[in-house]
Structure 1
Amino acid sequence: MMRGLLPDAVEVTEVRAELTAPPLFPEEAAVVARAVDKRRREFATGRRCARLSLAALGLPAAPLLPGPQGEPRWPAGVVGAMSHCDGYRVAAVARATDLAALGVDAEPAARLPDGVLEAVSLPEERADLARLGRAAPHVPWDRLLFSAKESVFKVWFPLTRRPLGFEEARLRFTRERDLAGAARGTFEVGLLVPLPPEFAGPVGGAGLTGRWLVAEGLVLTALAPAVRRAGGGPDSFEPAGRAAARPVPAHPAHDGPHPSNR
């Protein structure tokens, strides 16, 4: 599912069950030593998915420890993101020579709790969602907006190391034709803050385009800005339409909400 939202340069591992092997590195196990069992399992499966994706890039297994804001610290030369929600885990990685950053998020396909939409959206966005909801009431547009803003933050923070409020990005959604019971489309991101050079340099501007999918009880969003090449705009990527997600062993990710995507 997430595979279809991302370019071929990205290696994706997504599972609907926990992975029980291989064991965590000792440094990783120490991070969740005091966590509840559910959190330990989420953390471990996310790391195992990430290592499968990194292996597909030809990289060896290594500890993936959280940074100061809980974000995963990827190997040098790699960009990536992880996410999880009930019954789903995903890890996506790419080489930093192909993508400037990578954001993915997974949420349950359910409406947000009362009061949350007002806290994470702009008035103009709420007006957009009301219009979209009249045309496609089966799509949880409020949850989709939340998820897309999570993906935006996962692109923003690793490049800038700065906070980005929910109100500092204006999102607009486009819905494509539903296929096989799945709703899908794109979203446009307008950043409403001055762009620091560490973001503007590799990404190239305040406008970004992501993709979304609502299927099988999940809301999935992805944002994968290509590296801006010297003397021109960013390379463009079409979402992968051919490759399958990374297969996983016989046993058969949302480390949200921002700033963490551990």
Structure 2
Amino acid sequence: MIESILPSYVVSEDLFEDPPDTMLFPEEEKAVEVAVDKRRREFTTARLCARRAMARLGLPPVPVVPGPRGEPGWPSGIVGSMTHCTGYRAAVLGRSARVATIGIDAEPNEVLTQGVLEVISLPAERERLRELARRSEGVCWERLLFSAKESVYKAWFPLTGLWLDFEEADLSIGPDDGTFSARLLVPGPVVDGSEVTAFSGRWLVRDGLILTAIVLPAPATTAGSPPGASPGSELIGS
């Protein structure tokens, strides 16, 4: 499902259930040895998606071990992102020669827990959400905002190794074209000598799910980006 909001130069795999016979590498087993069953199933199936995506890139299966902040450790020459929520797991990968970073997120199309919106949003974003709610029904716009900010962080972290707070990106959602943009309110990462000042991405609401994705191409590939992709620092999406 997520492939519909991705450019053609990345690969993706997603699943809507947890195959019971999926095996982990020993290094991965150690990462979830004390995890509850729900966490273990999410972790395992997301890695199954990642290994299927690796196969589509012609790569052998390897462990994907979480780093200090939970970030996935990808093989050399590969960038990617994983996500999971109730009823959905996905992984998106690309070669670093073509892709600078990827961030994806999946959420249920349901309202946020009371009080969460005030923590994850800026006043200007909440005003835009009120306008979206007046214009269109069927989409939990506050949850979409949260998901898009999660994708921003996942795209940001591999480039910086730094935390990005929710209030350090000002996000706008395009209700009619399935896009979003996030203006960074702190100095951005430098990619090939140029500062990234914003991320742009795409979103999809289908079958009770909200999906968001950012794919920032490597600078050498922007001239040949497919339709719908923006160049350089303006492009694009656990």
Residue among 185, 190, 202 paired with 2:178 = 185
Q: 1:137: Cα distance to partner?
A: 2.5
Partner of 1:80: 80
- Matched to 1:219, the amino acid is I
Pair 1:218–1:239, CA change in 2 (3 A): farther
TM score, norm. by length of structure 2: 0.91
Q: 1:27: Cα distance to partner?
A: 1.3
Pair 1:144–1:28, CA change in 2 (3 A): same
| Contact in 2 for aligned 1:202/1:227 (Cα 8 Å) | no
Moved over 6 A (4+): none
Partner of 1:164: 164
Q: 1:196: Cα distance to partner?
A: 3.8
TM score, norm. by length of structure 1: 0.83
| Distance in 2, Cα, partners of 1:158 & 1:44 | 22
Q: 1:234: Cα distance to partner?
A: 6.4
Q: 1:202: Cα distance to partner?
A: 7.1
* Secondary structure, aligned partner of 1:102: strand
Superposed, which structure 2 residues align to 1:88-167 within 5 Å? Answer: 88-167=88-167
Partner of 1:254: none
Instruction: Work out whether 1:237 is the aligned partner of 2:226.
Output: yes
| Distance in 2, Cα, partners of 1:69 & 1:21 | 28
Partner of 2:213: 222
Per-residue deviation, residues 55-103 of structure 1 (Å, max 9, x unmatched): 1001111111011111100001111000000010001101111111000
Q: 1:9: Cα distance to partner?
A: 1.1
Per-residue deviation, residues 208-262 of structure 1 (Å, max 9, x unmatched): 21000111000100000111139xx66533469xxxxxxxxxxxxxxxxxxxx2x
| Distance in 2, Cα, partners of 1:44 & 1:170 | 33
Instruction: Work out whether 1:5 is the aligned partner of 2:5.
Output: yes
| Contact in 1 for aligned 2:108/2:209 (Cα 8 Å) | yes
Q: 1:195: Cα distance to partner?
A: 2.1
* Secondary structure, aligned partner of 1:190: strand
* Secondary structure, aligned partner of 2:219: coil
Per-residue deviation, residues 133-168 of structure 1 (Å, max 9, x unmatched): 100122100000000000000000011001101000
Pair 1:27–1:203, CA change in 2 (3 A): farther
Superposed, which structure 2 residues align to 1:1-40 within 5 Å? Answer: 1-40=1-40
| Contact in 2 for aligned 1:79/1:96 (Cα 8 Å) | yes
| Contact in 2 for aligned 1:8/1:239 (Cα 8 Å) | no
Q: Which sections of structure 1, spanning at least 5 residues, go unmatched?
A: 177-183, 241-260
Per-residue deviation, residues 113-146 of structure 1 (Å, max 9, x unmatched): 1110010001000000100110012210000000
Question: For this pair of structures, how many residues does the alignment match?
Answer: 230
- Matched to 2:106, the amino acid is A
| Distance in 1, Cα, partners of 2:130 & 2:182 | 18
% same residue: 49
Select the structure that is richer in strand.
2
| Distance in 2, Cα, partners of 1:196 & 1:96 | 16
| Contact in 2 for aligned 1:100/1:203 (Cα 8 Å) | no
Partner of 2:233: none
Per-residue deviation, residues 3-58 of structure 1 (Å, max 9, x unmatched): 01111111111111102344111111111111111111111111111000011001
- Matched to 2:218, the amino acid is V
| Contact in 1 for aligned 2:173/2:181 (Cα 8 Å) | yes
Q: Which sections of structure 2, spanning at least 5 residues, go unmatched?
A: 230-237
